[in-house]
């Protein structure tokens, strides 16, 4: 895993809704092959930042570069990047009228209509397997699945185009502790086996300690620190000390220490 190459570079981004400033002069680097966690209090614009980086929202100012390609202020979005990034929305955002397989095939249909039905079905089955699901799940409807299974289907769809970067918005939200731990294991496995870079918004302290190489903290309208958790925990900022130094933060840190000792 490279610790030098930046696959995402954000400089001086400003996001504003009316008179409300969400981000001002925000900088962020994401390195190749890392799992980076994005945290921050309510209203700090974590999802806004994700949507800005992937091109779903134009900021008022700044520059954004993904895999060496300028996303903003370039007015002509490079469609080649559609194959390079995958996005898992917080609620999965599956199409309720489509089967699981059809959901996973949707990006293929949109971006590569030349692919045959047979090949698209094979790719969907493979992506479901990578996400820890049996291929037979492809015939089911999303309403037939548990919350954890729907998350895995959404992950399979995010990987349909063989992206180099996965963007995950609260991937373990709504899962029980066992399901969340299994999903964390899957995320780490995908990074290690496929060489993915993973940008993950999460409130889950266990996920932060289990998964992340670095954590970027959004506060005061920008990234106040982007570093390994051992450095973040010591950073002199009220929200960070309350978040990581509280009972849940200490419990998550203790659980990780126990796993490492074992």
Q: What is the pLDDT of residues 120-136, one digit of tens each?
A: 999 999 999 999 999 88
Please give the pLDDT value at position 10.
Answer: 98
Please give the pLDDT value at position 261.
Answer: 52
Residue 23, φ and ψ in degrees, nearest 5? -130, 140
Peptide bond into 73 cis (omega under 30): yes
CA nearest to 195, candidates 84, 91, 119, 101: 84
User: Which strands, in side-by-side order, build the sheet including 61-66?
Assistant: 20-31, 6-17, 61-66, 69-72
- Whole-number Å distance between alpha carbons of 187 and 80: 24
Whole-structure pTM value:
0.90
Please give the pLDDT value at position 248.
Answer: 60
Q: What is the pLDDT of residues 10-49, one digit of tens each?
A: 999 999 999 999 999 999 999 999 999 999 999 999 999 9
**Quick check: 110 and 95 in contact, CB under 8 A?**
no
Please give the pLDDT value at position 72.
Answer: 87
Task: Write out residues in the chain with pLDDT < 70, as ranges.
Answer: 1-4, 75-80, 247-262
The mean pLDDT of the chain is: 90
Full 3-state SS string of 160-187: CCCCCEEEEECCCCCCCHHHHHHHHHHH
Q: Where do the domains of the chain lie?
A: 1-82+200-262
Please give the pLDDT value at position 256.
Answer: 56
Please give the pLDDT value at position 83.
Answer: 86
Cα–Cα separations (whole angstroms), residue 161 to 46, 82, 115: 25, 8, 12
Domain spanning 1-82+200-262, CATH class? alpha beta
Nearest-10 Cα torsion for 154, 160, 166, 167: -40
């Amino acid at each position: 895993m490279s610790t030098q190459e930046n696959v995402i570079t954000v400089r001086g981004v400003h996001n504003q809704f009316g008179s409300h400033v969400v981000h001002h002069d925000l900088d962020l680097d994401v390195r190749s092959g890392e799992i980076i966690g994005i945290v921050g209090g309510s209203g700090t614009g974590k999802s806004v930042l994700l949507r800005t980086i992937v091109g779903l929202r134009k900021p008022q100012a700044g520059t954004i570069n993904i895999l060496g390609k300028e996303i903003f202020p370039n007015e002509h979005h490079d469609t080649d990047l559609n194959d390079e990034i995958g996005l898992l929305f917080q609620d999965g955002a599956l199409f309720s009228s489509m089967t699981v397989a059809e959901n996973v095939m949707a990006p293929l249909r949109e971006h590569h209509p030349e692919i045959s039905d047979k090949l698209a079905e094979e790719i969907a089955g493979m992506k479901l397997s990578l996400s820890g699901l049996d291929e037979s799940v492809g015939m089911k409807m999303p309403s037939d699945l548990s919350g954890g299974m729907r998350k895995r289907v959404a992950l399979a769809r995010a990987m349909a185009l063989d992206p180099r970067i996965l963007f995950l918005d609260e991937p373990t939200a709504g899962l029980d502790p066992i399901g969340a731990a299994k999903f964390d294991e899957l995320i780490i496995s995908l990074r290690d086996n496929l060489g993915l870079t993973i940008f993950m918004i999460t409130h889950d302290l266990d996920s932060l300690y289990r998964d992340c190489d670095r954590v970027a903290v959004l506060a005061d309208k920008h990234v106040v620190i982007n570093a390994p958790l051992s450095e973040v925990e010591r950073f002199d900022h009220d929200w960070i000390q309350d978040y990581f130094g509280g009972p849940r933060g200490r419990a998550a840190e203790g659980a990780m220490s126990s796993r490492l000792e074992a």
